[in-house]
């Protein structure tokens, strides 16, 4: 997969590799038509799957300084069945600029919780303490640890 941005002449893209079960192993970033220059600047590597096909660990690369790139996330996912219950990041490096490294907002068991319908009701890494759903399983209220809330209303159209 390749692209160009605006008036830039640089071709950027990703090469994807998969295992024998068609699960992604790597998304390797690169530049030029062959995606061979500046590899691993924004690459991702899945380093493990469980027996249900859920990702157990993920490495993400990104910008770490004005001209520096490296590992920004080394994530380990803890699941309860097929539901995420905890995420730990072994990298403490803060991503540079607007880069989107995972922010480990909580390091406790049960960082995520779900209702009987499988809807997410808590995400302590994002500071979400409660999510309420309407009868259609659409979110109606999201409450945050700072006391703020978001209320959603839906129209019939």
Per-10-residue mean pLDDT of the chain, 157 residues long, equals 90 95 95 84 94 96 88 93 92 70 72 96 94 97 97 92
pLDDT at 113: 96
pLDDT at 143: 98
Q: Torsion angle of alpha carbons 52, 57, 61, 65, nearest 10°?
A: 140
pLDDT at 147: 97
pLDDT at 98: 62
The pair phi, psi for residue 78, each rounded to 5°, is: -105, 130
Q: Under DSSP, is residue 143 helix (H, G, I), strand (E, B) or coil?
A: strand
């Amino acid at each position: 997969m390749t692209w160009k941005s605006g008036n830039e002449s640089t071709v950027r893209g990703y090469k994807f590799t998969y295992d024998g079960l068609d699960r992604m192993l790597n998304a390797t970033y690169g530049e030029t038509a062959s995606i061979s220059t500046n590899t691993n600047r924004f690459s991702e590597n899945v380093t493990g799957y469980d027996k249900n096909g859920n990702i157990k660990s993920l490495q993400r690369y990104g910008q770490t300084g004005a001209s520096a790139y490296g590992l920004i996330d080394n994530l380990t996912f803890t699941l309860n069945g097929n539901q995420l219950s905890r995420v730990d990041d072994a990298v403490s490096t803060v991503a540079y600029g607007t880069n989107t490294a995972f922010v480990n907002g909580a390091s406790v068991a049960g960082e995520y919780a779900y209702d009987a319908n499988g809807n997410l009701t808590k995400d302590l890494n994002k500071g979400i303490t409660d999510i309420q759903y309407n009868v259609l399983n659409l979110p109606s209220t999201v409450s945050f640890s700072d006391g703020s809330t978001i209320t959603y209303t839906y129209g019939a159209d």
